[in-house]
Amino acid sequence: MKTTSKLAWVIIAASTLIISLLAVATYYFIKNYSYTDFYKRLETRARITGDYYFEVEGKESETYQRLREKYLETLNNEAFHIVEVNSDSGKSIIKQLELPSSFIQLAVKNGKNRYQRNTVFFEALKYVQHGKTYLVILSAENYYAENHLKFIRYLLVGIIIIMALVVTLLFYYFTKNIFDPITKVTNKVKAISTENIHERLEKEKNSPEIDALIATFNDLLSRLETAFQSQNNFISNASHEYGTPLTAIIGEAEITLKKDRTQEEYKEALTSILTHAERINTITQSLLLLAQIGYNNRAIDLTILRCDDLVLEAATAIEKLHPKARINLDFNFLPENSFKLKVNGNRQLLLVALGNIINNACKYSNYQIVTVSVASSDQYVNIKVIDTGIGIPVEDLPYIYDPFFKAKNAKRFEGYGIGLPLTRNIIHLHKGELVIDSQENKGSLVHIKLPIAKIPQ
């Protein structure tokens, strides 16, 4: 059974049950009330009759009848009897009325009693006069209550049926409006495969929840598409990075082997082959490090480090490596409390990460001034590296952390495209954040946030 059908049956059954219970309870209380009320009416009439006959002097049955007709509504088959208990005439009347002896006995004992035989209700009141015991017995049919109750029964059954129908219709309406769009979304998602992963789901009108679901799916599809693209990029870029030195090695070896060479020529050829082999080795080592840091998540040796020292050391190393580099260290925003500059980190890894970022900034800005600043908020040490270089094209931004990826405007620069993913993994390993804010031909701002070490001051 489908979820919608199950839900339909549960909701219809539950609502019908609740309405039925409510109807039964209503009917029960109305019935009880109508009976109690009718007995009270009988009792009042019996008391008026008794008081008139036993307490008013100069009885005139005509006057009594006139008063009754004037002030009291006539009940259906209403009749009253004044019975002297234990007298022959009284016994014959009781016998005639077919009243049980227990009813009479309890009426005598308690002063009053009630009895119902089919649709006829009896009320008996006890009077004592001149040492004799009398019972005033009033009987009538509860015609109105019977009729009203019948009407209420029909009404409640009608309401139950109508409500069940209304619930069914409402459920059908909501199913159409809630489940149909979900089914539609499911079918659309099913239709998307690797062949058409660029397709996106269209938003539904007037349904924010479904829109949120669609947005989530679209976001997921975008990430999947990026992942597929990254995979393709990785394969083609890695092939290219490995292919170039391998082709050079093969070419060099083939040319060298074509004829006999002098010792000097062999030496030159082998040196060239060694250079290309070293390049392959460097790429492999970098990839290995990236994999170790990114996926192994192994425990690394952490010590307390001052970030300004790290920045200074990384900048000095880059200046030594590239004498053309112009690095402006901005320490104007260092906190007065030096504890806020300390992070828990691995010195070598953080130097690699900072070195990569500063090196990239210098390289991609053609060695223009690069500003490196350090500051601390209450939770993070913030390092910003700002350059005014070539920037990153918007369309390349999603792939900048893919190994071997190079933005289209950076192809002419030397490098393997492993530095940034490696840096990102190192920063994540230190529970930090790496944010790149860039504009093509304007420059880039790399913001590194590292959590401040919790050490007693």
Q: Which residues bind other proteins (CB under 8 A)?
A: 330, 332-337, 340, 371, 373, 375-380, 382, 384, 386, 388, 391, 394, 397-398, 400-401, 424, 433-440, 442-445
Contact 290, 418 (CB under 8 A): yes
By beta-carbon proximity to other proteins, the closer residue of 142 and 444 is 444
By beta-carbon proximity to other proteins, the closer residue of 186 and 377 is 377
Q: Specify the residue for token string 């040319």.
A: 255
By beta-carbon proximity to other proteins, the closer residue of 62 and 336 is 336
By beta-carbon proximity to other proteins, the closer residue of 99 and 370 is 370
Quote the least distance from Cβ 418 to other proteins, whole Å. Answer: 16
By beta-carbon proximity to other proteins, the closer residue of 318 and 375 is 375
Quote the least distance from Cβ 333 to other proteins, whole Å. Answer: 4
Contact 270, 405 (CB under 8 A): no
Quote the least distance from Cβ 387 to other proteins, whole Å. Answer: 9
Quote the least distance from Cβ 330 to other proteins, whole Å. Answer: 4
Quote the least distance from Cβ 392 to other proteins, whole Å. Answer: 9
By beta-carbon proximity to other proteins, the closer residue of 335 and 415 is 335
Specify the amino acid at residue 228. Answer: F
Quote the least distance from Cβ 373 to other proteins, whole Å. Answer: 4
For residue 238, CA distances in Å to 219, 230, 280 come to 28, 11, 11
Quote the least distance from Cβ 227 to other proteins, whole Å. Answer: 12
By beta-carbon proximity to other proteins, the closer residue of 138 and 427 is 427
Q: Going by DSSP bridges, is the β-strand pair 380-387/342-345 parallel, antiparallel, or unpaired? A: unpaired
Quote the least distance from Cβ 361 to other proteins, whole Å. Answer: 12
By beta-carbon proximity to other proteins, the closer residue of 398 and 415 is 398
Buried b (16+ CB within 10 A) or exposed e, 178-196: eeebbeebeeeeeebeeee
Contact 374, 331 (CB under 8 A): yes
By beta-carbon proximity to other proteins, the closer residue of 341 and 351 is 341
Q: Give the count of beta carbons closer than 10 Å to the beta carbon of residue 453.
A: 18
Q: Evaluate the CA torsion angle 264, 265, 266, 267 in order and state its sign.
A: positive
Quote the least distance from Cβ 154 to other proteins, whole Å. Answer: 49
Quote the least distance from Cβ 368 to other proteins, whole Å. Answer: 12
By beta-carbon proximity to other proteins, the closer residue of 237 and 365 is 365
By beta-carbon proximity to other proteins, the closer residue of 181 and 391 is 391
Quote the least distance from Cβ 237 to other proteins, whole Å. Answer: 18
**Nearest in space to 358 (alpha carbons), one of 260, 284, 446:** 446
Instruction: Tell me how far apart the alpha carbons of residues 215 and 204 are, in angstroms, rounded to a whole number.
Output: 11
By beta-carbon proximity to other proteins, the closer residue of 45 and 449 is 449
For residue 401, CA distances in Å to 71, 108, 219, 284, 396 come to 100, 103, 19, 17, 10
Quote the least distance from Cβ 276 to other proteins, whole Å. Answer: 33
